[in-house]
Amino acid sequence: MSQQIVLGVPTAEEFDTEEDLPTEPMKINMGPSHPAMHGTVRIVLTIEGETVKEGDVQIGFLHRCFEKESEYATYTQVFPYTDRLNYVSPMLNNVGYAIAVEKLLGITSRIPERAQYVRVIVGEMSRITDHLTCLGAGSMELGALSIFFYAIKAREWIWELLEEVSGARLTHSYVRVGGVVADLPEDFAPKLRTVIGKVRESMRELDQLLLTNRIFRDRMDGVAVVSAEDAVAWGWTGPTLRSTGVDYDVRKDHPYLVYDRFDFEVPVGSRGDNFDRFAVRREEILQSLSILEQAIDQIPPGPILIDDPRVVLPPKSEVYNTIEGMINHFKLIVDGIKVPPGEVYSYTEGGNGELGFYIVSDGTGRPFRCRVRPPCFAIVSALPALLPGMYIADIVPTFGMMNMIGGECDR
């Protein structure tokens, strides 16, 4: 009779991994071109086994010099550059910049009501596309590719509508100092209502696919927990801050435009982990849809641009037929809007949080200094502190839920 060999799994006492399989810290690069990163970012990781010991996050691969370029552009010419800051929600950047310049000009209270409503509507539509992209791409990076398709499908409906409004799918440059460039198309309201319904339906599908998905929940729940104090100290704003339980939303705390006329909630998380960041964004989409419904009901008729020849281009009929109109047009195009000397910090709620513009004017038609306060710069700056102790696989959802947008973070 041959001897029997018993094969089995060694118990923890017999098999001490630390001793038998010693590991040495190893340096690996995540990025700069990594498939699970929305933009180009490089993380130099020091890992021990599967655990991250240290991570150095390097950004700046998309530094396109927004601030330098805007010093050479007139106030109106800066709008296309703002489109490409947070390119997932261009309208919100447009609105934020316009509000900053208007504050410096002192015409904030004179912006026509209809223009303010239009800004709210296009802004909230942009916010929805921002969050949909974040949720879709974030889930795709965890392997849930179909979620990405559902989210992009819903985003496409909104983009089509925004294209009807502004003429461009993504980079709209629709807002102007003193209002918006054109009125909403005629049959906008019914189309928007249809789209709201369709996006709601899409969100329901998304919920069914994702919220009880074991793999998804396991990778999101309890990963990268951030406390409220830490988040505030890091300068976090927006959905990531709210996920830690701080209910700071610029739209509620410092209402601008006509946000004080809408009934909406500010969702806050309780744990500050990745899933909360996901859930806050998801709930914000629903809140934005509700704001859209209210705005489309309340929107009054009226002009969409302020009546002020120093700020707004004259109508084309005047430009071609009167000398005053032509000179006015020429001066506004060539010299730009003359903004009185001074400085202003204006802030709005962008897709990722508080989007601030700090503009210093020297009295000419071009900004002397146009600083943008990028929300995700502050958010990503906390990543090196969150990395130690994490698994490599945890970096992907954490980074995805921070929603770093290269254009905004690196400017």
Residues of span 243-302 touching another protein by CB under 8 A: 246, 248, 253-254
Closest distance of CB 408 from another protein, Å: 11
Distance in angstroms (rounded) separating the CA atoms of residues 139 and 401: 10
Restricted to residues 359-398, the positions that interact with another protein (CB under 8 A) are 360, 362, 368-369, 371, 373, 377-378, 380-382, 385
Q: HSE (CB half, 13 Å, CA atoms) of 358?
A: 5
Q: Among 100-108, 192-200, 311-319, 395-403, which window interacts with another protein (CB under 8 A)? A: 100-108
- Tokens at 356, concatenated: 């601030």
Q: Which C-beta is closer to another protein: that of 296 or that of 344?
A: 344
Closest distance of CB 18 from another protein, Å: 31
Q: Say which residue the tokens 């993504």 belong to.
A: 170
Residue 365, helix vs strand vs coil? coil
Residue 33 makes contact with another protein by CB under 8 A = yes
What does residue 369 show for φ and ψ, rounded to 5 degrees? -150, 130
- Tokens at 96, concatenated: 């934020």
Rounded to the nearest 10 degrees, what angle do helices 145-166 and 188-210 cross at? Answer: 170
One of 107, 182, 209, 232 touching another protein (CB under 8 A): 232
- Give how many residues touch another protein by CB under 8 A: 75
Pattern 120-139, another protein, x by CB under 8 A: -------------x---x--
Closest distance of CB 4 from another protein, Å: 47
Distance in angstroms (rounded) separating the CA atoms of residues 320 and 55: 61
Sequence-ordered strand ranges (E) for 138-195: 175-176, 179-180
Residue 234 makes contact with another protein by CB under 8 A = yes
The backbone region for 65, taken as left when phi is positive above 0, alpha when psi lies in -120 to 50, beta otherwise, is left
Q: Which C-beta is closer to another protein: that of 253 or that of 324?
A: 253
Longest dimension (CA), the chain: 114
Pattern 321-350, another protein, x by CB under 8 A: --------------------xxxxx-x---
Q: Among 116-124, 152-160, 198-206, 263-271, which window interacts with another protein (CB under 8 A)? A: 152-160
Residue 307 makes contact with another protein by CB under 8 A = no
Closest distance of CB 93 from another protein, Å: 11
